[in-house]
């Protein structure tokens, strides 16, 4: 039989009460705790989803991710398509079995590569943007490696320069073979520097692609007999424009998706508003995933206004470069003062790194570019974000979210942290 759709569902545990500061309709605050049920286990939300881009967290084993509290992992369909290829993962029994992870998994559709390969802006999606508007925007020193048309996107491989084609149907085919519990519809991710006219065209194109994704998803679900049901999330784009975001949210809500991805480059000053605009249009039964966000203040703003799950590469990426997250802010472990510091990365932290190793040792490893340094810094940073979302969830259930938010942000940003 085809996968049973009833294996995937979402239930709300606790809803934040409305307030005068609520950004949703009639002062609604869409923040909530809940449970996403998947064929490979439950995800208690709000939750942080570490990014295992190529079916791996760089330097950290899946068993270690489980030990530090990760409930689920997210991989990227485009990168797995390039290597080892979706057929290999399908033959292995799906993404989780391939990387020895027995919990829930997500795959990003490849839509992020529309921006990262097309315009060259790779990692930061919550932006402060000033300056000109342009539809031919390209990051300084970058070559355009993705070209969008009505049917899909032609990519130039960052590995070897070969050309590949992604469309709604191709993305769905790849993701079904990868076999994650939760997939995303193929979308066009724009920059905040694109013109209003282009953003309008892009929103409509993403909707047409979403319709095609739903149709192909239904076809493949019926055809892939004996496979667990894979949930499909639609993605809402629209940049900073409230009317476009609301329009796109209504479009995605009208289709038979299992959940929604809040996507696109978002300016920090409206990140909470954007989540609320989208949540206004969404059925409460659909979980809401915020793509690519990991700044502490952004997470609180998104949770309060409807974000259920979050993913970002930042904890691992910046950790490999020496940036360490703590409850008192983010600091660089490679500062000279830490060479003789034999305390933990963060006092009071119970992660494996902090209970076994010192700042001086991690500083040495990272300066020497020893892989153990990448491992230890990543373990701590991923633990920080996983635990932060766990604590936020507890504060919602316990009725003290506002106090916890204010105290956490005051401590974290007291010294001007960039986090």
What is the set of active-site residues? 108, 311
For helices 359-367 and 371-398, the axis angle rounded to 10 degrees is 130
H helices then E strands: how many in the chain?
15, 18
CB-based contacts of 414, cutoff 8 Å, min separation 6: 328, 329
* Tokens at 361, concatenated: 């040792």
Distance CA 350, CA 405 (A): 21
* Tokens at 321, concatenated: 């470069």
Report the SS3 class of residue 46: coil
118 and 147 Cβ atoms separated by less than 8 Å: yes
109 assigned to a ligand binding site:
yes
Distance CA 170, CA 154 (A): 12
CB-based contacts of 95, cutoff 8 Å, min separation 6: 55, 75, 80, 89, 101, 105, 107, 178, 179, 180
264 assigned to a ligand binding site:
yes
76 and 53 Cβ atoms separated by less than 8 Å: yes
259 assigned to a ligand binding site:
no
Query: Tokens 């986090």 appear where?
Result: 419
Query: Tokens 């013109």 appear where?
Result: 195
238 DSSP β-pair partners: none
351 assigned to a ligand binding site:
yes
111 assigned to a ligand binding site:
yes
112 assigned to a ligand binding site:
yes
297 assigned to a ligand binding site:
no
Distance CA 12, CA 373 (A): 39
110 assigned to a ligand binding site:
yes
DSSP string covering 6-44:
GG-EEEEEEEPPP-TT--SGGG----EEEEEEETTEEEE
Per the annotation, binding residues are 108-112, 187, 237, 264, 349, 351, 354, 380
The binding site for substrate consists of: 108-112, 187, 237, 264
Q: Which residues are annotated as a binding site for Zn(2+)?
A: 349, 351, 354, 380
């Amino acid at each position: 039989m085809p996968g049973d759709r009833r294996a995937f569902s979402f239930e709300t545990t606790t809803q934040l009460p409305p307030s005068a500061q609520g950004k949703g309709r009639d002062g609604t605050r869409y923040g909530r705790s809940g449970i996403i049920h998947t064929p490979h286990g439950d995800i208690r939300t709000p939750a942080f989803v570490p990014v295992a881009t190529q079916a791996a967290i760089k330097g950290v084993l899946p068993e270690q991710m489980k030990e530090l509290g990760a409930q689920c992992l997210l991989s990227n369909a485009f990168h797995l398509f390039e290597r080892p290829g979706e057929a290999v993962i399908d033959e292995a029994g799906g993404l989780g079995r391939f990387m020895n992870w027995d919990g829930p998994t997500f795959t990003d559709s490849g839509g992020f590569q529309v921006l990262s390969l097309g315009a060259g802006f790779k990692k930061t999606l919550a932006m402060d943007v000033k300056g000109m508007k342009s539809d031919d925007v390209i990051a300084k020193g970058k070559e355009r490696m993705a070209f969008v048309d009505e049917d899909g996107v032609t990519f130039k491989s960052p590995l070897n320069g070969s050309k590949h084609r992604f469309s709604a149907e191709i993305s769905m085919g790849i993701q079904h073979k990868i076999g994650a519990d939760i997939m995303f519809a193929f979308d066009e991710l724009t920059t905040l520097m694109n013109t209003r006219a282009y953003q309008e065209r892009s929103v409509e194109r993403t909707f047409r692609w979403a319709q095609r994704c739903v149709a192909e998803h239904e076809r493949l679900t019926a055809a892939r007999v004996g496979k667990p049901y894979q949930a499909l999330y639609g993605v809402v784009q629209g940049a900073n424009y409230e009317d476009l975001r609301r329009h796109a949210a209504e479009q995605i809500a009208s289709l038979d998706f299992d959940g929604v991805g809040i996507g696109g480059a978002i300016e920090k000053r409206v990140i909470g508003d954007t989540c609320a605009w989208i949540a206004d249009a969404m059925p409460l039964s659909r979980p809401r995933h915020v793509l690519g966000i990991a700044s502490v203040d952004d997470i609180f703003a998104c949770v309060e206004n409807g974000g259920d799950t979050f993913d970002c590469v930042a904890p691992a990426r910046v950790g490999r470069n020496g940036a360490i997250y703590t409850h008192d802010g983010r600091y660089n472990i490679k500062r000279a003062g830490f060479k003789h510091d034999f305390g933990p990365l963060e006092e009071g932290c119970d992660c494996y790194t902090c209970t076994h190793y010192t700042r001086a040792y991690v500083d040495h490893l990272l300066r020497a570019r020893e892989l153990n340094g990448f491992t230890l810094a990543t373990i701590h940073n991923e633990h920080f974000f996983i635990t932060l979302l766990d604590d936020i969830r507890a504060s919602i259930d316990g009725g003290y979210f506002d106090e916890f938010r204010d105290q956490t942000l005051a401590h974290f940003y007291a010294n001007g942290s960039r986090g």
